[in-house]
Chains A and B, each alone.
Chain A
């Protein structure tokens, strides 16, 4: 499926800068996402992890810098070429993003019907295989509204692998899941990655699960890559920020208190309308 040499990274990000209005989301960051690995991108909420996935998928254009996916420069691709590239990318949204007016079966069949001319019986076989892979073959007649959050994400996974992509991007796959669903998703991401020879990018701030499945971890904050390496390397990091993030400590380099003036002065000042 991949066009490039298997030793080159699947995704190469160089000098990426992206802002929303005055706010700089990414400030000249570099990243490599290796082929065949599960790469986890972690960072505090609102740090731009989902934005990074949208930049890789070409849904957003950066202010400057380069994003190469399997050798193709996403930032300058035409719409048609971008759509061709996206056929080789799967993406799992936080909400699942299933089409609510279609059954589970129709949802998984959707990309096959849109992009292939396969016969209905072939599509049926493929859909059942994909649903079996995520353990939901028996739920094929259900509507998305009848699924739990974890089941919706598994259906979305089946849909994401329908076209046998080279990579899958997972946006916060563990958020709001009970321990069993979380365990199922963790195991599925790992199994799909090795069984289908995929490359996976998992955006998450669930430290335990994200490090459990990751081959490589990037930590980003304030528009920069703070640290990256294998989970072991990160656990052994001496950086106070990395320690605070991985151990979930409430205070440290990221302060508990939002920046404010003197506490006593503030209390003595009285309400603004009393002036």
Chain B
């Protein structure tokens, strides 16, 4: 019994220690922002590999999610004779929820795992130690540009996801199922609010960008420098990011759209 209590205490202390280290690491990333700004080429390089190279998966996923929403929405709304509201349904679902959330989940799987593996392998092959010994701070030189590139990329990718999703809904609703194009767009225009819906969606995607990028770079930097350690860290990035995004989404939705 006593040993179980001890084990529980040890695990709790270990989790709290890790959280504390993660928080201090986060402060270092924020403090490194001026350095990232003054060394823009490093940021641009990371924007390309984290943001631009994620474009294809976001584009294709957004299109299919929009098409599925169009199809499911049509079959539901037609029972109430409200199929012309399909544009509103698709666009609100995307900008409020699916755009930020699905983009964050895809981002964690595609870019987050790559970030963790890259930084973890740099640690395992002593590249980070080598930099420290060359008097170059790896957090400023390697980690911070990747973190900030993730933070910047996420809202842009979420916006692309939502926009392509609306096009997907349009293709299915108007192109295949024969809804009036004028009603599709005009109802969307009148019902989707800039601050209430779009801005809140953007805020969500920024929060998800910060959290997913932070988890990804921290897991890489804190990884045990072995192949198994890096593999575990990569898995943790995807699992922790997904859980954090879904939990935060609930909290943010309650805050933003609750009465």
Contact = CB atoms under 8 A, between A and B. Distances in A.
Contacts of B135: 83-84, 86-87, 111, 114-115
A59 B132 contact: yes
28 contacts: A54-B129, A57-B132, A59-B133, A83-B135, A83-B137, A86-B132, A86-B133, A87-B135, A91-B130, A91-B133, A93-B126, A93-B130, A95-B125, A95-B126, A97-B129, A97-B130, A98-B130, A99-B127, A99-B131, A100-B125, A110-B134, A110-B136, A111-B134, A114-B134, A114-B135, A114-B141, A156-B130, A159-B134
A22 to B, nearest CB: 15
- A-B CB proximity, top 4 nearest: A97-B130, A97-B126, A86-B135, A83-B135
Interface string A77-100: 000000110110111011101111
The SS class assigned to the A binding surface is mixed
A79 to B, nearest CB: 8
B136 A97 contact: no
Nearest to B141: A114
A114 B125 contact: no
Nearest to B133: A91
Nearest to B121: A100
Interface of A: 54, 57, 59, 83-84, 86-87, 89-91, 93-95, 97-100, 110-111, 114-115, 156, 159
Given A97-B125, A97-B126, A89 B133 contact: yes
A97 B127 contact: yes
Contacts of A57: 132-133
Contacts of B133: 57, 59, 86, 89-91
A247 B127 CA distance: 35
Contacts of B132: 57, 59, 86
A86 B129 contact: no
Interface in B99-157: 122, 125-127, 129-137, 141
A84 B136 CA distance: 10
Nearest to A156: B130
Contacts of A114: 134-136, 141
Contact of B134 (A54, A84, A86, A95): A86
A89 B132 CA distance: 11
Nearest to B126: A97
Contacts of B136: 110-111, 114
Residue of B126, B129, B130, B141 with highest tally of chain A CB at under 10 A: B130
A40 to B, nearest CB: 20
